[in-house]
Amino acid sequence: MGFSILKTRVAQETLGRILAGYLRLVQRTNRFVVEPADIYDRVRPELPLIIAMWHGQHIMIPFSRPDWMPACSLVSRHGDGGFNAVALRQLGIGAIRGSGALGKKIREKGGASAFLAMMKRLKAGETMVLTADIPKRARVAGPGIIQLARASGRPVHPIAVVTSRRIDFKSWDRASIGLPFGRGAIVVGEAIQVDRDADEATCEAARLALQAGLDAVHARAYALVGAQDPGAGLRPAEGAAVGNPS
């Protein structure tokens, strides 16, 4: 492949700072409602948490983090991961580079080392923020986040952050980015707890509960801003959902 100036450290740093500055503008110029209204008081004694989001809806998630919550996010090693990591740093959120890849790709994409790094951050008291679905399988919760909850003993909360004015992309995950001067909604779902001795059937039930929880918070968040979730209906037929990618 040819050299791309956009992949240089200087370019990634610049793009990340621009993105962070833009997100601050969006946050300042939108009037956000939080649901449940007392959610931050309720989750504070539970820290650290695992925060789950759908792929493509991750851009707005930093708005949901209060200043008193130390947090770290799982960020892809490839594509836009570099400047996303810079933007997160500018917004006070750490980054672990890796992915939720399964099967033959887990070493290539840093899945195993990322899992260990996330465990370490959780033990240090940092909330972990990561997408529940695996790339190219939109709105299908993968097993990775459930295994992280099982191994760490930390609760998982599904979350959605949306704005009334936004750009919805025609990407595989129907990614969205908010625009200034509108209304916003932050909706947090009930905690999903996975015991350390949970068997395969229990973990699968937790995965399905997380999937349903994420659908519910997104539907509610979009309803609060008078819109419909552009990613609703993306999930493939049940059965081809969570097998190992080739």
Residue 106 lies inside a defined structural domain of this protein: yes
Range picked from 84-98, 179-193, 228-242 for highest mean pLDDT: 179-193
Domain that holds residue 217: 31-224
Q: What percent of the chain has pLDDT over 90?
A: 77
230 lies in a domain?
no
Domain annotation covers residue 92 = yes
Task: Kindly state whether residue 167 falls inside one of the protein's structural domains.
Answer: yes
Which residues neighbour 222 within 8 Å (Cβ) at sequence distance 6 or greater? 160, 162, 185, 228, 229
pLDDT tens column, 183-226: 999 999 999 999 999 999 999 999 999 999 999 999 999 999 99
pLDDT band, very low/low/confident/very high, at 79 (cuts 50, 70, 90):
low
Q: Look at residue 100 in the predicted model and tell me its pLDDT.
A: 57
In a domain, 160, yes or no: yes
Q: Establish if 23 belongs to a structural domain.
A: no
Read off the pLDDT of residues 5-52 as tens digits, 9 standing for 90 and up: 677 888 999 999 999 999 999 999 999 999 999 999 999 999 999 999
Domain count along the chain: 1
**Where do the DSSP E strands lie in the chain?**
31-35, 50-53, 71-75, 94-97, 127-131, 156-163, 166-168, 176-178, 183-188
Would you say residue 231 lies in a domain?
Answer: no
Kindly report the pTM of this predicted structure: 0.89
Does 244 reside within a domain? no
